[in-house]
Structure 1
Amino acid sequence: MGNLKKFKGICWGILLVTLWFAHLAYLLSRPFDPASPWTYLGILIQMHLYTGLFITSHDSIHGVVSVEYPVVNNAIGRFCTILFAFNNYTVLRKKHHEHHAHVNTAGDPDVHQGNFFVWWFKFMWQYVTWQQVLAMAITYNILKLWIPMWNLILFWELPAILSTLQLFIFGTYLPHRGEHTPGNKTQSRSQSRNHVWAFISCYFFGYHYEHHDQPYLPWWKLAAAKDQAENFTK
């Protein structure tokens, strides 16, 4: 059993990638029906799976998808960032480590206190590149030869955009905005303990204090860390 545990991160990564591919293939093969509520539910599910791809690449950046096999760890992380609108894993890794090292200071590439939309724009500007936009445009025009335009826009492109907003709100804006309690070295806060909502909202990354305090924990262990922190303060 102990030997199997070291493959848990790899299994989670493979599962999320498989679900992303399978659900996307299903949505792209279905006729687009704007009157069906299942259309919009499908968009939300695909958004959540996109977020799972990013969270997997994030865990890979921290080296916890596979601690024992760094090559596999980085390969899974890099693959997930490519699936997530052709993001650059090397850039993400560099800037995310800067975020942890200089959280909520001038050296933090992710935190820009102030107006929500200005902050989101600055956040996105850090990561979107012309190479990424070009790759998306080329892929879109190739896929359009076989897949209807609206299916591509609504089920491939829109969920990725919504996922960036989801990640920003629950993984950056809410945890880091405003003033933090004196002595809080993580410069972050956590949402109230509700594991169902924490998973739905952002794969437990609303428990953000726990992540910054223990960045070696993969996403599925943050709920237990939240429980431990709550019990300690009682």
Structure 2
Amino acid sequence: MKQQVRYKYTGVGIAIAIVACWLALLIYLLQYNVNFAAPQTYLFMLLQTHLYTGLFITAHDAMHGVVAPGKPKLNKAIGTITAFLFAYNWYPRLLPRHHQHHRHVATEHDPDYHHGSFWPWYYSFLKNYITWWQIVLMAITYNLLQLYFPLENVILFWMLPAILATFQLFYFGTYLPHRGEHGDDNKHKSGTQAKNHVWAFVSCYFFGYHYEHHDKPWLPWWQLYKTKE
């Protein structure tokens, strides 16, 4: 509890920073003069992908009440906004599913788990988390954006980063840590990345340290690295 009070406003500040950076970079990139031969074009796309992932990681932390500890209304508001910005996800729908994942990890009752190979599992993951109304809203947004911005900008910096971020979250936050068999001594049925804080942050905001997240779900993403110290 003392730790939660200590970080009460830090999480809010980090959440605001992620949203502000995502929005500012998106506005800039939608007007960016695209040069397909320039490496910075693709670096910008990857950076925007990482910020998209940060939106969902922030919503995920809100599901554990750690964005604004002790401020449930503010915590829920931030979770709702960041989830919605990430391809129109609906926070009240995500919340019970995520806690079901934590209660029944790697079982038939786990909505994130699929007993099979990579692509069927990815399809199952998308099917569980993407709804038709999200697709409709994304299609409407796509058509509105291309009225005001070049088509290649909309695709490179708005559409593709959202798709790649979904893949990033699945691969590093679900597939790698939960694939395969885990022994009876592994109470969370989760693997974990080797200690490398730079790669852990770049790959998925430290959620490759996945056993540690299941073991200490009250830690915000920006504190997870300490579990490896």
TM-score w.r.t. the length of structure 2 is 0.96
Output one character per residue of 1:64-109: Cα deviation in whole Å (capped at 9) or x when no partner. Answer: 0011211110111111111111111111111101100100111000
**Whole-angstrom CA distance in 2 between matches of 1:47 and 1:142:** 21
Aligned to 1:214: 216
Amino acid at match of 2:114: H
Aligned to 1:68: 70
Aligned to 2:14: 12
Segments of 5+ residues of structure 1 without an aligned counterpart are 228-234
**Aligned structure 1 segments of 4 or more residues deviating by more than 6 angstroms:** none
Shift of 1:181: 2.4
Aligned to 1:40: 42
Aligned to 2:138: 136
Aligned to 1:80: 82
What are the within-5 Å matches in structure 2 for residues 1-234 of structure 1?
Answer: 5-227=7-229
TM-score w.r.t. the length of structure 1 is 0.94
Output one character per residue of 1:149-173: Cα deviation in whole Å (capped at 9) or x when no partner. Answer: 1111110010010011111111000
Distance change in 2, residues 1:45/1:181 (3 Å): same
**Whole-angstrom CA distance in 1 between matches of 2:125 and 2:160:** 18
Aligned residues: 226
Root mean square deviation of aligned Cα:
1.2
Q: Could you tell me whether the CA contact under 8 Å between 2:113 and 2:178 is conserved in 1?
A: yes
Shift of 1:226: 1.9
Amino acid at match of 2:164: L
**Whole-angstrom CA distance in 1 between matches of 2:178 and 2:147:** 43
**Whole-angstrom CA distance in 1 between matches of 2:102 and 2:22:** 28
